[in-house]
Amino acid sequence: MVRTQLGQQALEISNLSKSFGAVQALKSVSFSVQKGEVVALLGDNGAGKSTLVRCIAGIHQPDGGEIKVNAKVVNISSPQQARDAGIETVFQDLAMVGEFDISENLFLNREILSKNPLLRALGWLDKSAMQKQARKSLNRLNSRMPDFLNKVQNLSGGQRQAVAIARAVNWGADVVIMDEPTAALGVEQSAQVNALIKLISSQGVAVLLISHNMQHVLETCDRAVVLYQGHSVADVALTDVSKEHLVALITGAAVAA
């Protein structure tokens, strides 16, 4: 499965390195993701995937190397700077508040204040505007929610992922990083998340997908970047490689041609 790409680099990682004491977690990692492309980031436990994602998301600062978004070098030293640069990350725990409803989670830390100056000064929220925008954002993803006032803790796993993805793309993100989005989901809900990923990529969003599910990767992604012991050892089109060869690259039993 290869979709027509826009031919523009959304995210470019060049020679990224990161050490923790004597342990070098990333060793000159380089790859890129085009607009409208879904790229899998693969590797065994300890390969450096989590460190790389945290560097791109602003949680860790790399020791060396360069990150570009839309061909511009960006300095990312905090999650907010990553978001300001156009990078949104959907972590495995989704970072949502179960007691809050859908719109409150969609606007978490980005709430819309009341237009009334007095109420605005008191921190009063414009919940009507938030619910309207939440409905619009989820409709964009073809995600139907039974009740937008429903607490997130009452949603299914697939619905929670839809809210998390909508929150990521709602703010005009150029790059969305997704960490194991189907790990805790059943077959039907996983298929729904796959459809959401394909949909946002068709709208020009670049997606970097971390997953251990090879079938999910083959169904959803255009390319795979493989990390092994902190090195980027392969960057392959998924039409050119078998599932067995991908596994061999991940485990170090094979090297990229």
Domain ranges of the chain: 1-86+173-257, 101-172
Q: Residue 6: what pLDDT?
A: 53
Q: Between the CA of residue 6 and those of 9, 33, 141, 156, 209, what are the distances in Å?
A: 9, 11, 20, 34, 19
For residue 144, with 0-12 CB atoms within 10 Å meaning exposed, 13-18 middle and 19 or more buried, which class applies?
Answer: exposed
Q: How far apart are CA 82 and CA 123, in angstroms?
A: 26
Token reading at 11: 């995210």
Q: Residue 69: what pLDDT?
A: 95
How crowded is residue 112: how many other Cβ atoms within 10 Å of its Cβ? Answer: 16
Tell the CATH topology of 1-86+173-257.
Answer: Rossmann fold (3.40.50)
Torsion sign across C-alpha atoms 222, 226, 230, 233: negative
Q: Residue 1: what pLDDT?
A: 39
Q: Residue 3: what pLDDT?
A: 47
Q: Residue 163: what pLDDT?
A: 84
Q: What's the average pLDDT block by block, 10 residues per block, for the chain (257 residues)?
A: 62 96 95 96 93 94 95 92 91 79 83 83 84 81 75 84 82 87 78 86 93 88 95 93 90 72
If you count them, how many residues does the chain have? 257
Parallel/antiparallel/unpaired status of strands 23-34 and 72-73: unpaired
For residue 214, with 0-12 CB atoms within 10 Å meaning exposed, 13-18 middle and 19 or more buried, which class applies?
Answer: middle
For residue 239, with 0-12 CB atoms within 10 Å meaning exposed, 13-18 middle and 19 or more buried, which class applies?
Answer: exposed
Q: Residue 113: what pLDDT?
A: 85
